[in-house]
Chain A
Amino acid sequence: MSVALPIPGFPGRILAVTLPAGPGGTPVTVGGQNALPLLPEGEHPNAPAVGMEVRTGPLELPPALAGTIGPFAGDPAAMARKCAGDWGARFLFLSLAGCHPDAGGQSVSFGAAVVREVLSATPAPVIVGGCGDEEVDARLFPAVAEAAGRPVFLSYAEEKNYRLVAGAALAYDHGVVSWSPIDINMAKQMNLLLADLGFPPDRVLIDPLTGGLGYGMEYTFSIVERIRLAGLSGDAALARPILCHLGDAWKAREATDASEGSWGDVDLRGRRWEETTGLACLAAGADLLVCRHPSNVARLSGAAWR
Chain B
Amino acid sequence: MALTAIDIYKLLPKTNCRECGQSTCLAFAMQIAAGKASIDLCPPASEEAREKLSAAAAPPLPKVTIGTGEREVVLGDETVLFRHEKTFYHPTAIAVSIRDDASDEEFTSRLAAIRRLSFERVGQRISVDLVALRCASGDAGRYARAAAAALEATGLPLVLLAPAEPLASAVEVVAASRPLLAPPPEDLVPAAKLAAERKLPLRVRARGIEGLSVALADARAAGAVSLVADPSPETPREAVAFATNIRRLAILSRNRDLAYPSAFDLGGGFPDPFLAAALLVAKYGSLLVLDSADPADLLPLLTLRQNLFTDPQRPIQVEPGVYPIGAPSESSPVLITTNFSLTYFTVRGDAEAAKVPAHLLIADVDGMSVLTAWAAGKFTGESISKMLAECGIGEKVTHRTLILPGMVARLSGRIEELSGWRVLVGPQESSALPSYLRRLPPGAFLPVHG
Contacts and interface: CB of A to CB of B under 8 A. Distances in A.
A6 B304 contact: no
Contacts of A5: 209, 245, 248-249
Q: Size range of the interface on A?
A: 35 or more
A119 interface: no
A302 B272 contact: yes
Interface string A204-245: 000000000111111001100110010000000000000000
Contacts of A302: 272, 275
B237 interface: yes
A284 interface: yes
Contacts of A268: 294, 296-297
A66 interface: no
B385 interface: no
A299 interface: yes
A281 to B, nearest CB: 9
B296 A264 contact: yes
A150 to B, nearest CB: 35
Interface string A245-271: 000000000100000001111101100
Contacts of A69: none
B256 to A, nearest CB: 12
Interface string B257-300: 01000000000000010110011001100000000001111111
B275 A1 contact: no
B296 A276 contact: no
Interface string A272-306: 11011001101110000000000000010011010
Given A264-B294, A264-B299, A280 B253 contact: no
Contact of B213 (A1, A218, A229, A265): A1
Given A40-B241, A213-B307, A302-B275, A263 B299 contact: yes
A254 B299 contact: yes
B240 A214 contact: no
A221 B245 contact: no
B329 to A, nearest CB: 30
Contacts of B306: 214
Interface string B296-327: 11111101101110101000000000000000
Nearest to A215: B342
B124 to A, nearest CB: 11
A185 interface: no
Contact of A272 (B82, B236, B245, B274): B274
Given A279-B275, A302-B275, A269 B84 contact: no
B89 interface: no
A171 interface: no
Interface string B216-247: 00000000000000000000110011001100
A8 to B, nearest CB: 8
Given A39-B240, A222-B83, A272 B297 contact: yes
B contact face: mostly helix, strand, loop, or mixed = helix
B210 interface: yes
B137 to A, nearest CB: 29
B239 to A, nearest CB: 10
B209 A226 contact: no
Contact of B310 (A218, A264, A266, A284): A218
A278 B283 CA distance: 14
Contacts of B301: 276
Contacts of B308: 218, 221, 280
Contact of A283 (B274, B282, B297): B282
A297 B162 CA distance: 38
B244 A39 contact: yes
B10 interface: no
25 contacts: A3-B210, A5-B209, A5-B245, A7-B245, A8-B252, A38-B283, A40-B241, A213-B303, A215-B342, A218-B310, A222-B312, A225-B83, A226-B82, A262-B119, A266-B296, A269-B296, A272-B299, A272-B300, A276-B278, A276-B300, A276-B303, A280-B308, A283-B279, A284-B282, A305-B237
Which 10 A-B pairs rank lowest in CB-CB distance, beginning with the nearest? A264-B296, A264-B295, A283-B282, A218-B307, A269-B296, A6-B252, A268-B296, A279-B278, A276-B300, A222-B84
Interface of B: 82-84, 116, 119, 121, 209-210, 213-214, 236-237, 240-241, 244-245, 248-249, 252-253, 255, 258, 272, 274-275, 278-279, 282-283, 294-301, 303-304, 306-308, 310, 312, 342
Interface of A: 1-8, 38-40, 213-218, 221-222, 225-226, 229, 254, 262-266, 268-269, 272-273, 275-276, 279-280, 282-284, 299, 302-303, 305
Given A264-B295, A272-B297, 13 more contacts: A5-B209, A40-B241, A213-B304, A214-B306, A218-B308, A218-B312, A222-B82, A222-B312, A269-B295, A279-B278, A279-B279, A283-B240, A303-B279
